[in-house]
Every structure is written in C-alpha cells, then in structure tokens.
Structure 1
Amino acid sequence: MKSLLIALALAAPASHACDAPPPARSDIDANSYYSDQHHSVIDPVLRARNIANTKPIEDFLSQVARDANQGDAACALTWLNSWAGQQAMLGKMSSEQAYYVRKWTLGGLALNYARIRQQATPAQRAAIESWFKALADAAMAHADAKKGGRNNHYYWEGLAVTAVGGVTGDARYLDWGRKVFEHAMGQMAADGALPAEMERAGKALHYQVYAATPLVMIASILDLHDARLDTLVAFTVASSADPSGIARRTGVEQEPVGSREVTIVYNRHEGKPPPPAGKALWQPRLGGALEVPNPLEHLQ
C-alpha cells in the first residue's frame, strides 16, 4: 500500500495552472442502447450516440478523479466548485438513462471529493456539499417515485447518496443508503444471486458483478458486516471464476467478467488479504484508484 501511494505521488503533475472548468451541463441527454428485451444485446449505433452525448459529463468526472488522485486538489476543487455554483445536472433528464448518468456521476464526484475534502476552503465545502445534497435529493426522489423492480441501478443510487452522506455527515443520506442496502439483501436468492440481474441473459454475470460493486462500497462506508453480503460476494466471485453455473441458470453462455472491483473493497473492509494482484483498477465512478482506500471506507 505504501509503495502504491508513493507511486501515485510521483505520478502527480508538477504545479501548474488549472485548465478552465468546462461549462456546466444542466440537462443530461442520454439514451438506452440495448436492442433486446433482456437488455443484453448492445446496438452499436445507439451506444455511440449515448457516448457522444454524455462525453462532457464523463470527461468532467474523469478529470476530477485524476486531479483528486494525483495530488492536484486545488484543480479538482476548482472544477467542482464551478459546477456547484452553476447547479450542474439539476435540469432536464431526457430519459431513464440520463438519470443513470447523473447518479453514477454524483457517486464518483462524492467519492473523489472525499479524497481532497480536507484541502477545500470553507466556501468551497459549503458550495460543493450543498450541490451534492441537491443532487442526492433529486436521486432519492427519482428512485422513490419509480415503480417496478429494483436492480443494480437502485444500488448505484444508494452508493451515490451514501457517499454524499459520508462527505457531508448528514445522517439522512446515510439512512437512505442503508435502506437501499437492506432492500438488496432482501432481494437476494439464498445462494447469493440477484434475481433481477439473472434476467439479463448473456450479461447476467456482468450485471451480478456490477450490482455487487456498489453494495460492497455501501457496506464499507456504513461499516456494515452482514452474512448475506458474504454470501452474495462468494457467489459473485465463484461465478466470475467459473460462469458455467450462471450459464446453466440462464440458458445462455456468459461473457467473462472479473470480480476484483468487488473483492478489493470487500476484503479490505472485512480485514481479509487483498485479491491476487492484477492490472491497477481505475474507476472514476468509485473514487479513482481502488487499491488506495477511500477516506470514507471503514478499514479493519
């Protein structure tokens, strides 16, 4: 861990003037890109359109993550403060996919902000955290109003709101995240499978892993140790190593998916050895470098 922190520090850019923050995006225009009823087959034209439309927001998160992880807190805070002052992402959402983009971005921004919060000025903290709360309120309102099944998107909403609770200290958001976690545990099958994700045909394994990822981070932030989560993680890791069980369950061969994003956070919280070394995990939506613990994690 110490060597990784040193490597990140050495990779930090020399002191420089920050690039000007891009104009804030109030509205989000995004579209679904699956072409089948199981949402498992990607339409490349629709996917390309969605990537192009959401690129300014993805780029903003990626830059904040790079700065926050590489020791350039001043630039990250300047960018966050700029979008906070313009109340970014609180305008019109074009579709359900737009709501997805907003919650992924909020969670990522809050987790990256956690790395640099201590370096923010009081004015920056007030502006950024007020903006995060407005976005969390919007995420909760959307989730609570939505009818029908709850799947991985609900869990990612739970992570976004929980992370906002972590950086602001507001118990209301932490409590809502706990509600999402409990709901997920209640949905889980006895063997650890998440039924809504098992309905995704050839992407069932992919979405089992994708759903487990925010749940282990929620558990770490809230310092929850739960035998049900142990079962979920064990099923996810075993299925990642051998997808044949999910293939039999769904009747469809599964795309191979790794589970290190799940295990690196889960093992750290449970005081277990880290998973086998591999390519460094970088995920702006989870706070950047996953090998470096997030300040919101409760470590053993």
Structure 2
Amino acid sequence: MATQTARRFCLFLGAALLMAGPSSGQSAEVTSEAAAQPVEIALRTRTIPSVDACRSLPDLPRRLATASKYDQSIASKSVIDPAARQRREDQLAPVTNAIRNLALEARRNGNPQSTACTIATLRHWAATGALTDMATSDANLSRDRFTSDIAGIVMTLQARGQDLRGEGEIRAWLATLARQTMAYYDGEAGPTARRNNHRYLAGIAVAEIAEILGEKPMREWSKDAFAIGACQVDTLGYLPLELARADRAYEYHLYAYGALARLAIRLSASGSRPLPCEDRLDRLYRLISRGEASARDFARRTGLEQRTPSPRHLEVIALVPPRLEDMGTTGDVKNF
C-alpha cells in the first residue's frame, strides 16, 4: 500500500452531525454548530491513530495488482503455489483487515461516536477512490468480496436508522465499484471467470449496491448473474465449470452454492421473484449437503479423491435454498 501522509480531516461530534450528512459537493471535513471541540483523525497508510472518539481504522488503497495463488501451468487451477499464495495474502491482508475493522466499528450498536467514525472513514475511502484501479484479473476477482463487505457496512448503518441518502460521495463511489464490476465481467473477464463462482459473488456485491442505491439495472444484472450459474446446474446437480477443478470439485461446488444461495436470498428480498432456473438450486443443494456421501459422489464423477473441504466451506450447508414463503425475512446472509 502506498505511503500516504499529511492527510487530515476534522470530525466534529454532536447530535446534529449524527443525524445529517453533507451533500455530495462537501469535502471530507464535517462541521456542526452543536459540536464542541474537534476530534482530529489522521488517516495514514496503516491506521488512524487511536483517539478518544475513534478506534484505530486502517486506510484502503486505490490500486490492487494481485496474482492468482494457483499454479498457472496446471489447467484445472487446483494446485496452489505456496509462494504465490503468500505474496497474494500479504497484499490483501491490509485490505481485509481495514474492512473488517470498519465493519466491527459499524456494529457497535448504540455508540454514536462509532457511527460518526464509520461514516467519516467511508467518506474518506470514497474521496480517495479506494479500490477503483484494479490492475490485474486477480485483483478484479478479489474485489468482489471486498465490495460486498463494504456494502454490508452501509446496510448495517441504514438498518440502524442512519439516513445515508445525503452522502452523495459515498453513494457515487459505491456506484463506481458496481459499474466497474459489471463492466469487467461483461467485457474483460475470461470465459470461465465470467460464468463460474466469481460471477455469482460479483452478483451479490452488485445486488447489495443496487439495494442501497435503488438501481434497477444493477439488480437486473445481478439477476442475470444468478441465471448464469443456476441454469448451468445439470440434472444431477453438478456445475460443469466447477467439476473441472479436479480434486477440488466438491470444495468449489460448496463455494459456488454458497454464492448462488446468498444471491438468491438478496434478490428475493428485493422483490426479484421468480428467479431463472431457481428450482435447480435445490438440485445443487441436495448434491453438496450430504457430507461424506457428497464427497464420494464427486470422487466417482471426477475419478479423483476429493480434498476435505474446510469448515468454512461446509458452513454453507446450513444455508438452505430460499422458498417463496420464506421471503418475509432474509436472516443474516453475511454469515456465509
């Protein structure tokens, strides 16, 4: 992450600040007549210094240039290159930690200072164009989850009664992230990435931003992303592109199912029913949800003993396909 110094803005804490945000034309400096002394937050490369009002919150980069962790000489992309994985983890860890820390700050329910600090940090990320320059294919693919997590922070604030409709800079930044994602998968992604699990994860991110912004075209793009995945499920429940992952086929079916199920829940909650090929999601779920029996099915189908999926991948078994009668509540889909 590039060194950034001498970037400061003042956050005045007061009741008027917490209930109103600036218009899209305002700078990152926020004022309130009801505020007392300003709390100065210095945004640096790694952290915001700990002060009375705000916890330490890292910054986000504008540019990412990561490379795949998989050995590119193996067509199935199922063998991890340890050195490549470490380099990638080192590059992404500051981004992951920054977003995770801000999500924790946003969830401090009933703490007005945390709410103010969360919004101030989002304003700063928006002003600096965080994550808007993806220099490699892997960086584009990696950004989808980050975008979804950032949208989740905004949705958390909104669910707690924070009106962010006046936060023009944040909203414009979210729109940029969504439109860049759509443009990448529509025109730049490879033939596999634009149709496999990556596309479904991108669909979640775009659907969440569509919900925040009220953007119907984004919601329709996400609905198409669901259809691209669900309509590939064959009569036995397999996804052809994930079967190509050799001894990781079962693992990647779990991963793809989790993305499709979360996307179905998000779209259904926003009124996008029925979904194309939604009945096929049940087939996929029946295939992947039987533990060792599922692993044996994949071993027979691929001719390869399957790697044992991690507990994180197996957690998606608890996420059953949505039913029309279940759409009164969506639950916490971010847990999966």
Scaled by the length of structure 1, what TM-score is found? Answer: 0.79
1:47 corresponds in structure 2 to 85
The structure having more radius of gyration, on CA atoms, is 2
2:298 corresponds in structure 1 to 246
- Cα deviation for residue 266 of structure 1 reads 3.6
CA distance in 2, matches of 1:123, 1:139: 22
Residue 79 of structure 2: SS of its match in structure 1?
coil
Task: Select 2:202's aligned residue among 130, 133, 157.
Answer: 157
Check conservation: 2:60, 2:98, Cα contact below 8 A. Answer: no
Alignment of 1:62-73 (within 5 A): 62-71=100-109, 72-73=114-115
RMSD: 2.6
- Cα deviation for residue 77 of structure 1 reads 2.5
- Cα deviation for residue 147 of structure 1 reads 4.3
Check conservation: 2:261, 2:319, Cα contact below 8 A. Answer: no
- Cα deviation for residue 19 of structure 1 reads 3.2
1:47 maps to amino acid: R
Give per-residue Cα distances to partners, 1:63-97, cap 9 Å, x unaligned: 12222334343333332222012111112x23211
- Cα deviation for residue 217 of structure 1 reads 1.2
Task: Select 2:96's aligned residue among 27, 39, 58.
Answer: 58
Check conservation: 2:243, 2:302, Cα contact below 8 A. Answer: yes
Q: Taking structure 1 as reference, are residues 23 and 259 closer, same or farther at Cα in structure 2, changes over 3 Å only?
A: closer
Q: Taking structure 1 as reference, are residues 34 and 171 closer, same or farther at Cα in structure 2, changes over 3 Å only?
A: same
CA distance in 2, matches of 1:16, 1:137: 37
Alignment of 1:84-163 (within 5 A): 84-91=126-133, 93-118=134-159, 119-122=161-164, 125-145=167-187, 146-149=189-192, 150-163=195-208
1:107 maps to amino acid: S
Q: Which moved more, 1:15-24 or 1:40-49?
A: 15-24
1:193 matched to 2:238 = yes
Structure 2 residue runs without a partner (length 5+): 1-50
1:297 corresponds in structure 2 to none
CA distance in 2, matches of 1:166, 1:239: 34
- Cα deviation for residue 21 of structure 1 reads 4.3
Q: Taking structure 1 as reference, are residues 134 and 268 closer, same or farther at Cα in structure 2, changes over 3 Å only?
A: same
1:26 corresponds in structure 2 to 62
- Cα deviation for residue 262 of structure 1 reads 4.9
1:172 corresponds in structure 2 to 217
- Cα deviation for residue 24 of structure 1 reads 3.3
1:11 corresponds in structure 2 to none
- Cα deviation for residue 135 of structure 1 reads 0.5
Residue 57 of structure 1: SS of its match in structure 2?
helix
Check conservation: 1:151, 1:211, Cα contact below 8 A. Answer: yes
CA distance in 2, matches of 1:201, 1:152: 15
Structure 1 residue runs without a partner (length 5+): 1-14, 273-281, 291-300
Task: Select 2:119's aligned residue among 77, 80, 86.
Answer: 77
- Cα deviation for residue 198 of structure 1 reads 0.7
CA distance in 2, matches of 1:136, 1:240: 38
Q: Taking structure 1 as reference, are residues 85 and 31 closer, same or farther at Cα in structure 2, changes over 3 Å only?
A: same
More helix by share: 1
- Cα deviation for residue 121 of structure 1 reads 4.9
CA distance in 1, matches of 2:151, 2:324: 19
- Cα deviation for residue 268 of structure 1 reads 8.6
CA distance in 2, matches of 1:69, 1:265: 26
2:260 corresponds in structure 1 to 215
- Cα deviation for residue 269 of structure 1 reads 7.6
Percentage identity across paired residues of the two chains = 27
Q: Taking structure 1 as reference, are residues 50 and 67 closer, same or farther at Cα in structure 2, changes over 3 Å only?
A: same
Q: Taking structure 1 as reference, are residues 125 and 270 closer, same or farther at Cα in structure 2, changes over 3 Å only?
A: farther
Give per-residue Cα distances to partners, 1:32-76, cap 9 Å, x unaligned: 111132111111111000011122211122112222334343333
- Cα deviation for residue 107 of structure 1 reads 1.1
Check conservation: 1:220, 1:269, Cα contact below 8 A. Answer: no
Q: Taking structure 1 as reference, are residues 104 and 21 closer, same or farther at Cα in structure 2, changes over 3 Å only?
A: same
CA distance in 2, matches of 1:78, 1:120: 13
Residue 106 of structure 1: SS of its match in structure 2?
helix
